[in-house]
Amino acid sequence: MNEEIKTKVLNVIYNEQNPIDAIDISKKTNISLKDICESLIELEKELKIRVTRKHKYTKTDFIFDKITIVKNGVGYVNNDILINNINLKNAINGDNVVVELIGKNEGKVLKILSHEKNYEVGRVIVINNKKYIKLDDIKKKNILLLVNDNVSIVEGHKVAVKIGSIVKRNIYKAEEIKIIGHVNDPGIDILSKAVMFDIETVFPEEVIKEVNNKPSKVLEKDLYNRKDLRNETIFTIDGDDAKDLDDAISLKVLPNGNYLLGVHIADVGYYVKENSELDKEAYRRGTSCYLADRVIPQLPSLLSNGICSLNENADRLTKSCVMEFDQKGKLVNYDIFDSIINSKKRMTYQKVNDCLENKNNDYSYEPFIQDLKSMQKLSNILRKKRENNGCINFDSKEMKIIVDENGKAIDVIKKERIESENLIEDFMIAANVTVATHINYMDLPFVYRTHGEPNIEKLEEFFAFVRLMKEKITKLPNNMHPKVIRNILEELKDSPNYEIYSNLLLRCMQKAVYDVNNIGHFGLSLENYTHFTSPIRRYPDLLVHRLLDKYNKENFLYNEERNETLLKYLTIASRHSSIKEQNADKCEREVNKMKSAEYMENHIGEVFTGKITGVTHFGFYVDIYNGIEGLVKLTDLNNAFFNNNNYTIYTNDGNYKIGDIIDVIVDSSNKEISHINLSLANKPKKNKILKKVLGSN
């Protein structure tokens, strides 16, 4: 059934004060009576409407929401509607359910619409000679999936599985089992996390066949209608281990003193044709995912590291955004066009940084040092201009997991952004703004990168907390502007707890998303912004490239019906891409937590000096080593209680609040649940002491 028709029918019913019959709905919507009746049958099955004794239709008071099951086994919807065990109707954590209110703040599950994920991830266990799957998701730890006797899996296999029908309380049938590997295989822990977050790890055969038919080098026929920039000084700057190089840069200082900046992006769309198997798979994935020692790419490596990668001394097809900036960073002219380049140097962030700091010891960089110095000047101009406009910089440090050849965590470091990385970011932002502004003036369907204003209630809570911590901070103004957040960070920058405050403030911000409605980008303080610069790694960038082709090449004329169809597609694609990006981010965080716990398994009994980063009613969290956090439980403290008025835990032995530096012992570390238990180090045994200073690398 057409979902659009169902939505129109639902809107009519919910806007009516009284029940309405099918004929009147048909008249109000200009939809055939047959289609109306089919929609009504489906909507009734979904419990979104109910039928009266006079065969009229009206809205229901049911709640449609995702259920959260807490530790004691009860559930909640809408955050505050309680569902007792007897009213759960076998719903499990994360299920989309229909709930009927049976009291002011109590309800019962009428129907389970769907489970949280298509596939869950778990480990095969054997109980009384029967095979079960125990799920990895800690919120579903009480659930077991019963495996058919004829399924060829063994104890210890990690699998992806669909939850089937219920057998008895907390036991369900296991359906569509896919083997990921054995729990002891190197890298299976990370792959399992990827599958848990619906991240594809293997390319379908038809996609590989399509890739194998792509050329390994640029052909003569590919040069049609492209500007030849192969003789220009163009190069890439990336991380040491990067293989998918999708952006290159160039710079000229013009006779008038202006800067001519070129940002040249791999023309992925030339090789990934719309609606091809490659394109469908790239859409499904939405983004590349970076997990500890591996990349789960959006495109197969034969493309992403081959013909689409802007490798040194190789002809490559690109889309160029060439911008002229004056000495104050104002854009005075630009051009966006198809091109062909030949990168003169594959540079790395660290070596470029050495050049910028006059520490270069690599002679191969010598011919480019003047260009790099000029780029640094322009970068500083552009960044200062953005900062003056209110651009927010949370200056967060990235956690990086170091693993051995078997994928086992051997260290965790905090990686700080260096000047060369800022330079590339400044130039990419400039290109993204230019492309977004270019299309925005056309008033045509487009994919923007948007970022809404922060949550005011959360900001007020943050202000109250910071004042409790005795920090001096200006009153929150009525009008919200990025400069407000920037000024808050500036006021707190000298506090020893700055990093904690910065992270808490970051949580007050909305997530940036892809959207067809251009509300601007609050965090960057920009009216127009998009993602154009990473089509190898992000699907929205590929969409933006295609839209540029459509609007600039195809003599695009305004057509209301065609634009409406395109807008609907871009709306769906933007939402999908945002969800896939968020899944990848969640997966990365989960892998970091898991690997942090794995690293700490080798440090049980050791003493670490750390800072308290969070205090709750069940204990306090301590950053013990480069972002690795462990929990000191309230129940393990001497006669302790939590005062939520000042976020402090009081004990007979002392008081504990955010920002305190304390010594703790690693009592236990559980990789499976990504959890580290700590205890206070009052009198540690000397032979077990290994102090690691907070923040050291």
Instruction: For the chain, list the domains and their CATH numbers.
Output: 3-59 (1.10.10.10), 63-114 (no CATH), 120-185 (2.40.50), 205-449+521-589 (no CATH), 453-509 (no CATH), 604-688 (2.40.50.140)
7: pLDDT strictly greater than 90:
no
Give the whole-angstrom CA distance, residue 544 versus residue 147: 46
- pLDDT at residue number 304: 95
- pLDDT at residue number 647: 87
559: pLDDT strictly greater than 80:
no
- pLDDT at residue number 150: 84
682: pLDDT strictly greater than 80:
no
Rounded to 5°, the CA angle 420-422-427 comes to: 100
User: Are the C-beta atoms of residues 418 and 601 closer than 8 Å to each other?
Assistant: no
Tell me the per-residue pLDDT of 427-446, one tens digit each, with 9 for 90 and over: 999 999 999 999 999 889 99
Rounded alpha-carbon distances, angstroms, from residue 295 to 284, 472, 518, 583, 672: 16, 44, 31, 15, 22
SS3 call for 116: coil
Tell me the per-residue pLDDT of 569-616, one tens digit each, with 9 for 90 and over: 999 999 999 999 999 999 999 999 999 999 999 999 999 999 999 999
Long-range contacts (CB closer than 8 Å, 24 or more residues apart) made by 240-244: 240/348, 240/349, 240/350, 243/301, 243/304, 243/305, 243/309, 244/288, 244/295, 244/297, 244/304, 244/305, 244/308, 244/309, 244/536, 244/537
Tell me the per-residue pLDDT of 152-193, one tens digit each, with 9 for 90 and over: 899 999 999 999 988 988 899 999 999 999 999 999 999 999
Give the whole-angstrom CA distance, residue 622 versus residue 225: 59
696: pLDDT strictly greater than 80:
no
Tell me the per-residue pLDDT of 50-65, one tens digit each, with 9 for 90 and over: 888 888 999 888 888 8
Helices (H), 154-214: 188-196, 205-212
Tell me the per-residue pLDDT of 272-330, one tens digit each, with 9 for 90 and over: 999 999 999 999 999 999 999 899 999 999 999 999 999 999 999 999 999 999 999 99
Give the whole-angstrom CA distance, residue 219 versus residue 255: 36
- pLDDT at residue number 564: 86
555: pLDDT strictly greater than 90:
no
551: pLDDT strictly greater than 70:
yes
Mean pLDDT of 330-337: 97
- pLDDT at residue number 690: 42
SS3 call for 237: strand
- pLDDT at residue number 71: 74
Give the whole-angstrom CA distance, residue 237 versus residue 248: 7
Rounded to 5°, the CA angle 339-345-348 comes to: 115
User: Are the C-beta atoms of residues 540 and 514 closer than 8 Å to each other?
Assistant: yes
Tell me the per-residue pLDDT of 190-245, one tens digit each, with 9 for 90 and over: 999 999 999 999 999 999 999 999 999 999 999 999 999 999 999 999 999 898 99
- List the single range of 57-71, 409-423, 506-520, 539-553 with lowest mean pLDDT: 57-71
Element (H, E) at 564: helix 560-600
User: For a pLDDT cut of 90, what percent of the chain falls above it?
Assistant: 71
| Cβ-based neighbours of 152, under 8 Å, separated by 6 or more | none
Give the whole-angstrom CA distance, residue 376 versus residue 385: 14
457: pLDDT strictly greater than 60:
yes
560: pLDDT strictly greater than 80:
no
In the chain, the amino acid numbered 430 is A
- pLDDT at residue number 554: 58
Indicate the burial class of 161 (C-beta count within 10 angstroms; 0-12, 13-18, 19 or more). Answer: buried
**Residue 492 CA to its chain's centroid (Å):** 27
- pLDDT at residue number 542: 98
Closest C-alpha to 396, from 629, 661, 696, 627: 627
- pLDDT at residue number 557: 64
Q: Give the dihedral sign, CA 458/462/463/467.
A: positive
- pLDDT at residue number 271: 97
| Cβ-based neighbours of 494, under 8 Å, separated by 6 or more | none
- pLDDT at residue number 693: 43
Mean pLDDT of 400-426: 94
* Mean pLDDT, rounded, of the chain: 91
Closest C-alpha to 627, from 682, 690, 680, 676: 676
419: pLDDT strictly greater than 90:
yes
Mean pLDDT of 109-137: 91
694: pLDDT strictly greater than 80:
no
SS3 call for 285: helix
Give the whole-angstrom CA distance, residue 450 versus residue 457: 21
